[in-house]
Amino acid sequence: MHTTRWKEYKTAVATAAILLALTYLVNPGTSKGQINIRLRDISDRGSPLQTSGVVGFSDDPSSNIRYTYQIEGSFRNLTSKGIMLVVMKIKSEDVDGPPLDYTYENELFFGSDVIRPGRVVPLRVDPVRFGDATVNGKPITWGGETERVLAPTATVQVLFVQFVDGSGWGDAESVQDVFRVRGQTLRELSILETTLRDRGEQDFKEELSKSAPLLPCISSLMNSCSAEANSCLADGVRSMIESAERHQIGLKSGEKNPD
């Protein structure tokens, strides 16, 4: 009898803990501090990706940049093709703070790898932070002591996916800036290669430092090589050029042989 009651007690405690966790994820209430909101995929039917995760929101009134969003999750390639570009929109609303409207980009055109069929990719980004917003010099009050009407929400929507054969899914017009930056990066890599060959390492580094703030792929290379030998940057530029040339061959092949 004692054993039966003990099992019933443990089951009740476990059930209560699960319900509390689910309530916390779906409707964190009005309290300040850290909340986690389940990420809901609202992509159009036929999306090539399956995405899940959470958006964390925290409020630290003692900090000048008091509001922080943290996005964590994963997405899986549901198709039979490799993927070289993913663009998603991640939003969160109805928290006690400013809403989130974040565009996630995973550009693999300059890398040696692609997202192969069935592969699961971690969805992690640097924290997104906001300070207090003001209107006419007065800070906006988010939420406050009023009763919450709507539960906090977090959504993800796949905007565009480009496959290794050049075909795509989604709204290509919405990501023209991504393709523009890709073209600028290709041109800059060619300049960097020529500068290193004709004018030497010092001029090469100066050219890198000018282009890095404008081109994310080159900025990423500089960050990854910051604690490495001088040859890391030169090797990285050559590797990016080789990867881009290989992907361009795949894109042209797909244009000649469409599905």
Tens of pLDDT, residue by residue over 24-62, are 444 444 345 789 999 999 999 999 999 999 999 999 989
Residue pair 80/117 in contact (Cβ under 8 Å)? The answer is: yes
Structure tokens at 236: 């990285």
Tens of pLDDT, residue by residue over 145-187, are 555 567 999 999 999 999 999 999 999 999 999 999 999 999 9
Q: What pLDDT, on a 0 to 100 scale, did the predictor assign at position 226?
A: 87
Structure tokens at 51: 């995405």
**How much of the chain is in helix, strand and coil states, percent to nearest 5?**
40, 30, 35
Phi, psi at 36, each rounded to 5°: -120, 130
Amino acid at 98: P
Confidence check: pLDDT of 17 > 60: no
Residue 11 pLDDT grade (very low, low, confident, very high; cuts 50, 70, 90): low
Q: What is the percentage of the chain residues whose pLDDT exceeds 90? A: 68
Structure tokens at 24: 């916390």
Alpha helices in the chain (DSSP H): 2-26, 176-199, 201-211, 216-224, 231-256
Cα–Cα dist 21/180, whole Å: 44
Residue pair 100/69 in contact (Cβ under 8 Å)? The answer is: yes
Cα–Cα dist 218/47, whole Å: 30
The answer to whether the predicted template modeling score (pTM) of the entire model surpasses 0.85 is: no
Residue 22 pLDDT grade (very low, low, confident, very high; cuts 50, 70, 90): very low
Is 132 exposed, middle or buried, given 0-12, 13-18 or 19+ CB atoms closer than 10 A? middle
Residue 256 pLDDT grade (very low, low, confident, very high; cuts 50, 70, 90): low
